[in-house]
């Protein structure tokens, strides 16, 4: 914590400590003016921030821009998840999975799984069997993608 707070002149030196502060953020993308524009995960996924965070405006107060980052991280992920939700029904699922970051894929997949399971339960045994077959196919596609 002291090392983070002592890095007032160079915000990029906080990078090694980000994993301890924010689960899922391994690095931040900085402009030459030291503005923060993107979050990066350990897996290499990149999420753009809704607002550019100016570390210069914080005038050396690391805790100030870290708090801004926390707020913007939540807003940015909400936007990405909303966009991924809208995109889910527009293309084949396997293509959709490749286009979105892991957290949004998990969230939106759970949302649609719940919706489609509810619909199948209401429709009866035949619909349940068809939905089971679809789920099995989707799992096989994901396994093939990961291999």
Which residues does residue 30 pair with via DSSP β-bridges, in sequence order? 36
* Region label for 124, one of left (φ > 0), alpha (ψ between -120 and 50) or beta (otherwise): left
Which residues does residue 39 pair with via DSSP β-bridges, in sequence order? 28, 47
pLDDT at 9: 66
7-54 residue pLDDT tens: 556 777 788 778 878 888 889 999 998 899 999 988 889 999 999 998
Consecutive H or E run containing 21: helix 18-21
113-143 residue pLDDT tens: 999 999 999 999 999 999 999 999 999 999 9
Contact 131, 116 (CB under 8 A): yes
Four-point Cα dihedral 6, 9, 15, 19, nearest 10 = 40
Per the listing, tokens 């502060």 go with 21
Distance CA 21, CA 25 (A): 8
**Cβ partners under 8 Å of residue 75, min gap 6:** 50, 51
């Amino acid at each position: 914590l002291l090392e983070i707070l002592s890095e007032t002149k160079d915000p990029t030196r906080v990078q090694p400590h980000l994993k301890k502060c924010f689960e899922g953020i391994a690095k931040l993308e900085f402009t030459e003016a030291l503005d923060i524009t993107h979050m990066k995960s350990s897996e290499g996924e990149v999420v753009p921030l809704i607002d550019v965070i100016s570390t210069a405006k914080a005038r050396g107060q690391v805790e100030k821009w870290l708090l801004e980052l926390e707020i913007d991280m939540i807003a940015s992920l909400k936007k990405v998840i909303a966009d991924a939700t809208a995109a889910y029904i527009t293309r084949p699922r396997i293509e959709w999975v490749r286009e979105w970051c892991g957290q949004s894929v998990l969230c939106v997949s759970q949302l649609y799984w719940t919706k489609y399971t509810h619909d199948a339960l209401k429709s009866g045994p035949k619909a349940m069997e068809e939905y089971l077959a679809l789920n099995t196919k989707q799992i096989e596609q994901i396994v093939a993608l990961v291999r």
